[in-house]
Chain A
Amino acid sequence: MIVPSFSARGRRGRRLVSCLLLGAVICLLPFFCNAYWLDVCVSIGLYALLALSLNLILGQAGIFHMGHAAFFGVGAYATAILNTMFHIPVLWLMPVSGAAAALFALVVARPIIHLRGDYLLIVTIGIVEIVRIALLNDVGGITGGSNGIFGISRPQLFGFRIYKSLHFYWLVWGMVGVTLLLFYGLWHSRVGRALNYIKADDVAAEGCGVNVSLYKLTAFVLGAFWAGMAGTIYAAKMSTIAPESFNFMESVIIFAVVILSGGSQLGVLISAFLFIGLPELLREFSDARMLIFGLAMMLMMIWRPQGLLPCLPRVYARLRGAVAPGANVEERRA
């Protein structure tokens, strides 16, 4: 049993305060932003959503996955196709698109999930490229080729039509909030522990009776489901989507956000702000913007190789010998 030292306790306290502060900033931001920065914040929220879903796969389960844009794209295209062809309301399509992305993930991940780290990395890159090329070549005659699909309708929530940037801001960040809570619960559950065990040592995990392939696949499919739902929001926000929005570079950015975060959810949010906000701040350098961005990526990794905010160690027993509810009982049942 790990007994938290006072410093760890202090860190935990500081994390909580930072979380609340960040939450307050996000709630107050729309009142101080102009239209341009509001749009930037919407896209930060979208990337935060994608990065949180990838964090489940890459940060928690330690599966080297650099093709998250593929699932994002499948979700966005599912929404776009179903909405423009059958006029199904966009928000109804959110779980449908999630399921489409999850199903796609299940089909492609099943045969490759056992691959070792770097092999998986390169295969997932291959998947992104294949998806992009398939969309570009207008597969099945429904993806619109390189022009993509336009005229996706605006979402409606209880009769309220979401069309302004401000509305999307609340939609995206509300979704981020829900995601944070759900994934926090997952991290504390049996599944979360199993995924962390697999990341630390998959052979030992298998030896202890954790079904490694099943859990890895679960993480993959769940992450893809979330990315698919983010795709719905993206399609609704843009009302036009094209294959180039889901290329390898997108995957790289989502991947880098997760690695820089260090694996904790707070880290993911901060890292998303840095990654998407920084290039916008560098607008005045116009052409040299991405040059500085690449340099910053290198420097940030050299400065903090472990990421901004790594997950704090799990606590099962509190000080003074009190047993945390659930923790040990569940362990024994396993």
Chain B
Amino acid sequence: MEQFFQQLLNGLAVGGIYALVALGYTMVYGVLKLINFAHGDLFTIGAYLGLTLLVSGGLAGSLPPVLAVLLVFFMVGLLVALIGCALERVAYRPLQKAGRLSAVVSALGASIFFQNAVMLAYGARPYVYPNSLRPDFTIELFGYALPGMRVMVIVATVALMLALWAFIQKTRMGAAVRAVAIDQSAARLMGINVNRIISLVFLIGPGLGGMAGLLVGMYYGKIDFTMGWTYGLKAFTAAILGGIGNIPGAMLGGLLLGVVEALAASYVAFAWKDAVAFCVLILILIIRPTGILGERTADKL
């Protein structure tokens, strides 16, 4: 029971991270119908930028660790958001009118570019987050001792998701994002500046992805320049699982995928951990092709 409970929470923490990355995929897909393959690498950039800011930014020395981490958390989000926005301007906007697969190849090129840029800037060896910055307290809950880091990751991801949900559902800008996702040309006719909304989505998505990168660094303590591929693919799987283009779906899909993976890794076979995600995906798509929360949309008719 103890193991089950710990794995469940581990799954929720990892799943929260998947969900944050998946939100970037699903929002971009919602407005552009594009799988942003470079998103996983923006996540990697977040992890590396976070490390740089924490270690050599001098913040860790002058501020209490908790405050420093929190500050870096938002700084990383902002920086990666700017990179994401620039990416859209350079690599995707010229291809808006072209076929969708051209943009996919451009995204794959951007992914290779970012991955190698990180490798050139930091070197190919993995990096380690300093242990002094990672909280090592434990929390007592229902008689179990829970690692503080695990709880903090869950809290951070849930807070970000709630903030995003409130923004999308309660504000005017959020309504515009939803409108563009439903029908771009109708939204344009209603006076919504579609390009500005696309830029906004490319700020929010990569911003969340970058923060997720920092969280992975804090949670596992180790980062390397290729991790964007795996996390990106899993997060995209999560987005499909919940119904692509659907924001609550991405959150649910991420959490679900994290839990299933953690339980499968501890009860079935660890070596097959990465394959589990894709098996779940294929099963879901065979049984319910629109994802868990996805709505059935009319195809081209």
Q: Give the B-binding residues of A (Cβ under 8 A).
A: 58, 64, 111-112, 114-119, 121-123, 125-127, 129-130, 133-134, 136-137, 201, 203, 248, 252, 255-256, 259-260, 287-288, 290-291, 293-298, 300-302, 305-307
Q: Is the CB of A255 within 8 A of B120?
A: no
Which chain A residues border B53 with CB–CB below 8 Å? none
**CB within 8 Å: A-B pair count:** 131
Let me know if B231 is at the binding interface, CB within 8 A.
Answer: no
Binds A, one of B58-66, B236-244, B250-258: B236-244
Decide: A126 near B91, CB < 8 A? Known: A119-B240, A256-B108, A295-B109.
Answer: no
Which chain A residues border B2 with CB–CB below 8 Å? none
Q: Is the CB of B108 within 8 A of A297?
A: yes
21 example contacts (A-B, Cβ-Cβ < 8 A) are as follows A122-B240, A123-B282, A125-B233, A127-B278, A129-B275, A129-B278, A256-B108, A288-B116, A290-B116, A291-B116, A291-B117, A293-B109, A294-B110, A294-B112, A297-B108, A298-B90, A298-B110, A301-B102, A301-B103, A301-B105, A305-B95
Complex Cα spacing A111 to B281, Å: 13
Q: Is the CB of B236 within 8 A of A122?
A: yes
As a 0/1 sequence over residues 269 to 301 of chain B, the CB contacts with chain A under 8 angstroms (1 = contact) are: 001101101110110011001000000000111
Which chain B residues border A111 with CB–CB below 8 Å? 286
Decide: A302 near B286, CB < 8 A? Known: A122-B35, A255-B105.
Answer: no
Which chain B residues border A294 with CB–CB below 8 Å? 109-116
Q: Is the CB of A295 within 8 A of B282?
A: no
Q: Is the CB of B285 within 8 A of A112?
A: yes
Which chain A residues border B112 with CB–CB below 8 Å? 290-291, 293-294, 297
Q: Is the CB of B275 within 8 A of A134?
A: yes
Which chain B residues border A297 with CB–CB below 8 Å? 105-106, 108-109, 112-113
Which chain B residues border A58 with CB–CB below 8 Å? 101
Q: Is the CB of B120 within 8 A of A291?
A: yes
Complex Cα spacing A302 to B99, Å: 11
Which chain A residues border B104 with CB–CB below 8 Å? 121, 259
Let me know if B229 is at the binding interface, CB within 8 A.
Answer: yes
Let me know if B189 is at the binding interface, CB within 8 A.
Answer: no
Complex Cα spacing A117 to B29, Å: 13
Which chain B residues border A118 with CB–CB below 8 Å? 29, 33, 35, 244
Q: Is the CB of B113 within 8 A of A291?
A: yes
Interface centre among B112, B114, B275 (most CB of A within 10 A): B112
Complex Cα spacing A22 to B116, Å: 33
**5 further A-B pairs in the complex, CB-CB below 8 A; given A116-B289, A127-B282:** A259-B102, A291-B112, A294-B115, A297-B113, A305-B98
Decide: A126 near B278, CB < 8 A? Known: A137-B272, A259-B104, A298-B91.
Answer: yes
Which chain A residues border B229 with CB–CB below 8 Å? 248
Complex Cα spacing A136 to B233, Å: 19
Q: Is the CB of B113 within 8 A of A126?
A: no
Which B residue sits closest to A134, measured CB to CB?
B275
Let me know if B191 is at the binding interface, CB within 8 A.
Answer: no
Complex Cα spacing A302 to B98, Å: 9
Q: In chain B, residues 78-137, which have Cβ atoms closer than 8 Å to a Cβ of chain A?
A: 90-91, 94-95, 97-106, 108-117, 119-120
Partner of B285, one of A119, A130, A259, A287: A119
In the complex, what's the smallest C-beta–C-beta distance from B237 to chain A, in angstroms?
7
Partner of A126, one of B29, B109, B111, B282: B282
Which chain A residues border B97 with CB–CB below 8 Å? 305
Complex Cα spacing A290 to B285, Å: 34
Q: Is the CB of B278 within 8 A of A121?
A: no
Q: Is the CB of B94 within 8 A of A130?
A: no
Complex Cα spacing A58 to B116, Å: 28
Complex Cα spacing A137 to B273, Å: 11
Q: Is the CB of B120 within 8 A of A288?
A: yes
Which A residue sits closest to B108, measured CB to CB?
A252
Q: Is the CB of A112 within 8 A of B274?
A: no
Complex Cα spacing A115 to B283, Å: 12
Complex Cα spacing A255 to B300, Å: 24
Q: Is the CB of A302 within 8 A of B237?
A: no
Which chain A residues border B103 with CB–CB below 8 Å? 301
Decide: A129 near B233, CB < 8 A? Known: A116-B299, A291-B116, A294-B112.
Answer: yes
Complex Cα spacing A122 to B35, Å: 9
Which chain A residues border B282 with CB–CB below 8 Å? 112, 123, 126-127
Chain A to chain B: the 10 pairs with minimum beta-carbon distance, closest first:
A297-B109, A305-B98, A294-B113, A294-B112, A126-B278, A291-B116, A298-B109, A305-B102, A301-B106, A133-B275
